[in-house]
């Protein structure tokens, strides 16, 4: 048996299994070796059916019989039932709403059943309602235990693999026994250097593979999981550190500006810059002087004033000349994820630069604009794309702001010296690269984000960037008043809001959906929709105010039109999906209502309420929820008490795990590694070791195994 052998060359695989394995992306022997159990069952925790009592949370093993599916019960709920017998007694299993589950079983199947034991009121009969049911075949016996015999107190672990239709946990268990027994592990080389394994007491690859699939004790399984998690994070770090090293090697324009010069630019701001803003600018100026490309992440809570930092750095660039040239100017590109945001930046930059002879332009899918304008003194004018491209290529346009349109091949700069990416988490690494590879000379890179990422995650995902924190809010900001509103308090809350609206303020209402779900569809998600909620608010709650709507299915022209009316005060209440999430600035909007709050992550809720933090009015955030469950209430309470977004992000990471929060699927990181990202020590260790290696051996010439692995995994993992 070889690692690269297709599974089908060793095992007889039924068509249904073949499909399932394909869905899981498993084709070779090596693939299933790295298909890890999600947890371990403990045979000692198995109860006999005769011993069950009402209210128990129990696990039993037994054989299925009397399986039947009925369509109509009292309320037309699709329902199936079956008996499970273990030799001591039998108990009924009832499935509501899950007829497909019963279809995967048949009479005679041996199963593991885990769930809560309920009691029927009518006849005091015990039953499992919607328990977790897994095929087990003869698994308990194969691991040497007669589960239903006298010696059932023997303690052993058995692996439980993620199950999918067509291939059972038991199948994996059996195949793994054969694979592990084949001696194939002897052929496996451990890519992790011995010193690292020793230093952190991690098992070797061979040991870890055995321990993760067939542990003797829980501690072994744990050690194996730790090793694989470390390995994954280590390779991510290795890749990040390599990128960072290469980026730093590239030559970039030298921009030599003093802080005094910057102060003169900042004097014209309608506010005094915070110390954090000054530090961020100073840090970047240091990087600018080195002749190597800066790559920096500017992380600052919503409203911390990242735009002013970006504008100041753009100023430093536009007032610098290309090396050895007495004329022309260096250029800055600023990329934002939405048209609304790009044009908002365009407007802000005009304000920051209007006293200077600097040409600023905007490029989005909707068209191009330029400032200043001959036909519209003091303002901007529409220009053709062709004209814009010409002026960007000739270097006449010093600052180009735009959406993705900015990274198209046709956009060529004369001397691009600084690339700024706003809300960078909305872009992929590829887009980031496209922006920084427009020229032979690498531009300095400033990535900005308001997403408060826990430190461990930032170190992992953005390990190739230097980190600047904008950890100070501009003074004089009113503290937002956040209230969690349960259905009973809705009316009362609307009255409070009415008084705000009456005194001239505006409001956002965020709904989880765009349109109503199809009522004919079973189990359609019941959540407020923008369209219905706008109708309801207009006709039943706030007839005296103007209600507008915005959502992602609208064209960008429509969205811009609505946003501009809202900015101009022609709309009082803007009902929207979370598309307003990103950076939009309407100072007069002081109230935000979030419907179905339990559907949003805490960080996202925090981002959303940042929409009303911009002005001088007292801001309010009303978080409406239908669910008063303990966990939901605890999460929402954190929203009231947390001091900043970082605290909330940590809380969310603790409670929900990184995978769910930050879209693991998009990043291609395993659940195992995501779990490990909660562990700061492990992340730091992986980073330290990776940095050490890259610093002395950037091409990994002395580490061929690492190089091999990195080259092959680089194709798999791509952060988005």
Residue 611 site contact among ligand ADP, Mg ion, none (CB < 5 to 8 Å, cut-off depends on kind): none
Task: State the nearest-atom distance from the C-beta of 478 to ligand ADP, in Å.
Answer: 12
What backbone phi and psi angles, to 5 degrees, belong to 408?
-60, 150
Q: For residue 271, how many C-alpha atoms fall within 13 Å in the half-sphere facing its CB?
A: 15
- Comparison of 583 and 596: residue with beta carbon closer to Mg ion: 583
- Comparison of 448 and 562: residue with beta carbon closer to ligand ADP: 448
Residue 169 site contact among ligand ADP, Mg ion, none (CB < 5 to 8 Å, cut-off depends on kind): none
Beta strand pairing call for 381-383 and 367-371? antiparallel
Q: By beta-carbon distance, which residue lies closest to ligand ADP? A: 305
Task: State the nearest-atom distance from the C-beta of 583 to Mg ion, in Å.
Answer: 4
Task: State the nearest-atom distance from the C-beta of 33 to Mg ion, in Å.
Answer: 46
Which listed range, 120-128, 354-362, 369-377, 580-588, lies at the site for Mg ion (CB under 5 A)? 580-588
Q: How many residues make contact with Mg ion (CB under 5 A)?
A: 1
The H or E element spanning position 608 is helix 602-609
Answer yes or no whether residue 583 interacts with Mg ion by CB under 5 A.
yes
- Comparison of 614 and 617: residue with beta carbon closer to ligand ADP: 614
Task: State the nearest-atom distance from the C-beta of 325 to ligand ADP, in Å.
Answer: 32
- Comparison of 451 and 538: residue with beta carbon closer to ligand ADP: 451
* 393 vs 561: CA distance, rounded Å: 31
* 419 vs 438: CA distance, rounded Å: 10
Q: By beta-carbon distance, which residue lies closest to Mg ion? A: 583
- Comparison of 357 and 476: residue with beta carbon closer to ligand ADP: 476
* 493 vs 483: CA distance, rounded Å: 10
Task: State the nearest-atom distance from the C-beta of 398 to ligand ADP, in Å.
Answer: 20
- Comparison of 93 and 580: residue with beta carbon closer to Mg ion: 580
Secondary structure E strands in 313-374:
331-335, 360-364, 367-371
Query: Which ranges in 81-167 belong to alpha helices (H)?
Result: 99-103, 139-142
Number of neighbours of residue 217 by Cβ within 10 angstroms: 13
- Binding footprint of ligand ADP on the chain (CB under 6 A): 271-274, 277, 300, 302-308, 450, 474, 583, 585, 614
- Report residue 602 as tokens: 């805490």
- Comparison of 615 and 698: residue with beta carbon closer to ligand ADP: 615
- Comparison of 8 and 564: residue with beta carbon closer to ligand ADP: 564
Interface residues for Mg ion in 13-42 (CB under 5 A)?
none
Residue 100 site contact among Mg ion, ligand ADP, none (CB < 5 to 8 Å, cut-off depends on kind): none
Residues 6+ apart with CB under 8 A from 127: 91, 92, 93, 94, 117, 118, 119, 120
* 705 vs 127: CA distance, rounded Å: 55
Answer yes or no whether residue 610 interacts with Mg ion by CB under 5 A.
no
Residue 273 site contact among ligand ADP, Mg ion, none (CB < 5 to 8 Å, cut-off depends on kind): ligand ADP
Answer yes or no whether residue 131 interacts with Mg ion by CB under 5 A.
no
Residues 6+ apart with CB under 8 A from 577: 510, 511, 512, 513, 514, 530, 550, 551, 552
Which listed range, 78-86, 194-202, 581-589, 656-664, lies at the site for Mg ion (CB under 5 A)? 581-589
Number of neighbours of residue 187 by Cβ within 10 angstroms: 11
* 153 vs 44: CA distance, rounded Å: 6
Residue 300 site contact among ligand ADP, Mg ion, none (CB < 5 to 8 Å, cut-off depends on kind): ligand ADP
- Comparison of 348 and 565: residue with beta carbon closer to Mg ion: 348
What would you measure as the largest C-alpha separation in the chain, in angstroms? 95
* 338 vs 403: CA distance, rounded Å: 6
- Comparison of 614 and 687: residue with beta carbon closer to Mg ion: 614
Task: State the nearest-atom distance from the C-beta of 614 to ligand ADP, in Å.
Answer: 5
643 upstream amide cis, omega within 30 of 0: no
Task: State the nearest-atom distance from the C-beta of 307 to ligand ADP, in Å.
Answer: 3
- Closest Cα partner for 318 from 351, 353, 283? 353
- Binding mask 528-567 toward Mg ion (x if CB under 5 A, else -) reads ----------------------------------------
* 496 vs 689: CA distance, rounded Å: 56
- Report residue 510 as tokens: 């965020």
Residues making contact with Mg ion (CB under 5 A): 583
């Amino acid at each position: 048996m070889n690692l690269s052998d297709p599974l089908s060359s060793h095992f007889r695989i039924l068509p249904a299994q073949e499909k399932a394995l394909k869905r899981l992306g498993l084709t070779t022997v090596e693939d299933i070796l790295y298909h890890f159990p999600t947890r371990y069952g403990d045979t000692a925790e198995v109860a006999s059916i005769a011993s069950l009592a009402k209210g128990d949370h129990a696990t039993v093993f037994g054989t299925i019989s009397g399986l039947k599916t009925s369509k109509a019960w009292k309320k037309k709920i699709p329902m199936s039932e079956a008996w499970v017998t273990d030799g001591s007694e039998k108990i009924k299993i009832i499935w509501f709403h899950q007829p497909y589950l019963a279809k995967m079983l048949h009479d005679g199947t041996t199963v593991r059943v885990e769930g809560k034991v309920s009691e029927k009121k009518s006849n005091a009969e015990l039953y499992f309602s919607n328990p977790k049911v897994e095929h087990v075949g003869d698994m308990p016996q194969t691991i040497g235990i007669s589960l239903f015999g006298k010696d059932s107190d023997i303690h052993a672990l058995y692996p439980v693999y993620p199950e999918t239709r067509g291939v059972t946990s038991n199948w994996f268990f059996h195949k793994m026994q054969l694979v592990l027994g084949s001696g194939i592990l002897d052929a496996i080389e451990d890519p992790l250097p011995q010193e690292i394994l020793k230093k952190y007491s991690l098992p070797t690859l061979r040991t870890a593979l055995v321990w993760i699939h067939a542990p003797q004790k829980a501690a072994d399984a744990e050690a194996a999981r730790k090793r694989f998690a470390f390995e994954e994070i280590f390779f991510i770090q290795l890749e990040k550190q390599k990128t960072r090293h290469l980026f730093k090697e590239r030559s970039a324009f030298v921009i030599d500006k003093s802080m005094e010069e910057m102060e003169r630019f900042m004097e014209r701001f309608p506010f005094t810059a915070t110390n954090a803003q000054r530090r961020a600018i100073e840090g970047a100026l240091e990087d600018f002087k080195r002749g190597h490309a800066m790559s920096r992440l500017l992380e600052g809570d919503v409203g911390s004033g990242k735009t002013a930092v970006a504008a100041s750095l753009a100023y430093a660039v536009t007032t610098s000349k290309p090396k050895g040239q007495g004329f022309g100017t260096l250029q800055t590109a600023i990329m934002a994820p939405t048209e609304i945001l790009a044009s908002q930046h365009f407007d802000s930059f005009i304000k920051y630069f209007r006293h200077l002879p600097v040409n600023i332009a905007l490029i989005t899918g909707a068209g191009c604009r330029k400032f200043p304008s001959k036909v519209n003194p003091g303002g901007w004018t529409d220009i053709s794309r062709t004209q814009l491209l010409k002026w960007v290529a000739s270097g006449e346009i010093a600052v180009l702001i735009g959406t993705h349109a900015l990274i198209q091949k046709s956009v060529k700069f004369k001397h691009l010296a600084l690339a700024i990416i706003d809300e960078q988490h909305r872009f992929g690494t590829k887009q980031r690269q496209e922006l920084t590879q427009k020229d032979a000379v690498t531009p300095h890179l400033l990535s900005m984000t308001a997403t408060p990422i826990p430190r461990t995650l930032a170190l992992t995902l953005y390990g190739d960037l230097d980190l600047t924190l904008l950890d100070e809010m501009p003074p004089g900001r009113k503290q937002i008043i956040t209230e969690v509103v349960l259905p009973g308090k809705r009316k009362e809350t609307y009255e409070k809001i009415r008084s705000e609206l009456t005194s001239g303020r505006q409001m956002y209402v965020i709904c989880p959906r765009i349109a109503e779900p199809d009522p004919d569809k079973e189990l359609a998600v019941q959540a407020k929709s923008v369209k219905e909620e706008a109708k309801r608010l207009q006709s039943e709650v706030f007839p005296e105010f103007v209600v507008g709507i915005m959502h992602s299915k609208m064209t960008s022209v429509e969205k811009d039109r609505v946003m501009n009316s809202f900015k101009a005060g022609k709309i009082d209440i803007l009902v929207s999906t979370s598309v307003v999430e990103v950076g939009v600035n309407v100072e007069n909007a002081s109230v935000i209502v979030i419907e179905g709050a339990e559907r949003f992550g805490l960080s996202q809720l925090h981002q959303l309420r940042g929409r009303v933090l911009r002005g001088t009015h007292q801001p309010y955030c009303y978080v409406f929820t239908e669910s008063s469950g303990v966990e939901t209430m605890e999460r929402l309470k954190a929203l009231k008490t947390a001091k900043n977004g970082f605290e909330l992000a940590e809380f969310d990471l603790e409670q929900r795990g990184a995978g769910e929060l930050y879209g693991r699927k998009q990043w291609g990181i395993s659940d195992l590694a995501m779990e490990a990202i909660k562990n700061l020590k492990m992340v730091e260790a992986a980073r330290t070791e990776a940095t050490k290696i890259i610093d002395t051996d950037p091409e990994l010439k002395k580490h061929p195994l690492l190089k091999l692995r990195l080259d092959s995994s680089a194709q798999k993992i791509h952060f988005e």
